Amino acid sequence: MKKTLFIAVLALMGTAAFGQSGSGFGVKAGISYNKNGDLIRTISNSAQNAVEGAEGKTGYHFGFWGKLDFPKIYLRPELVYTKTKSTYDVDGDSNDYDVSKLDLPVLLGYKLVGPLHIFAGPAFQYTLSNDLGDLEVEDVENDFTVGLNAGVGVNLGKLGLDVRYERGFSKNEAQIISNNITNIEGRVDSRPSQVIFALSLKL
């Protein structure tokens, strides 16, 4: 009985893995928990600046993926629209920092066993827009940046589930000009640090 059950489980895992095995393409979407870098305010007549850490918020993404499949590894480029959000507390006021960008991760994956696989690779990022609530903020210093994606996934038929961590390699700051009441000068680091949960479908 145990042997029969073990064989059935192996067969089920093999069938699940087969759905997204092989080269192909599909769509994906998901949510993320994101935190950007510090907000640093310039304080006049002071040797030190005020540093505000970000409070993480939930973001989302959707896009497309392609896959070149080999016996034990695969190459998977993706093109994804991503919306992230962090919150900063400035003088008792809460300001949401919204960033919209296009992500192009190029992932190299390794198949562990059955439907389970791991992956990592660079993520090329192009910032479309950024907004900091009541604070007036300029565009980010660099529209184009590079980060890292790394994670683990499982294939279930034509569906795929994965969780990954994304981190920007270098600071990408936007200058704060003022707000509607008083002049506030400083800068905010738009570099992402996020945990991403994604659902993909092979077409």
What are 136-161's pLDDT values in tens digits?
A: 888 898 999 999 999 999 999 899 99
CATH 3.40.50.1100 for domain 2-202:
no
Q: pLDDT tens across 11-27, in order?
A: 444 433 444 567 899 99
What is the identity of the amino acid at 93?
D
Task: List the chain domain ranges.
Answer: 2-202
pLDDT tops 80 at residue 7: no
Got the DSSP string for 179-203? Answer: -SSS---EEEE---EEEEEEEEEE-
Q: What is the pTM of this model?
A: 0.81
Q: How confident is the model at residue 162 (pLDDT cuts 50, 70, 90)?
A: very high
CA–CA separation, 159 and 28 (whole Å)? 10
Across the chain, mean pLDDT equals: 84
Q: Do 60 and 84 contact (CB within 8 A), yes or no?
A: no
Neighbours of 20 (CB within 10 A): 24
Q: How far is CA 203 from CA 25, 67, 73, 160, 196, in A?
A: 6, 12, 20, 12, 22
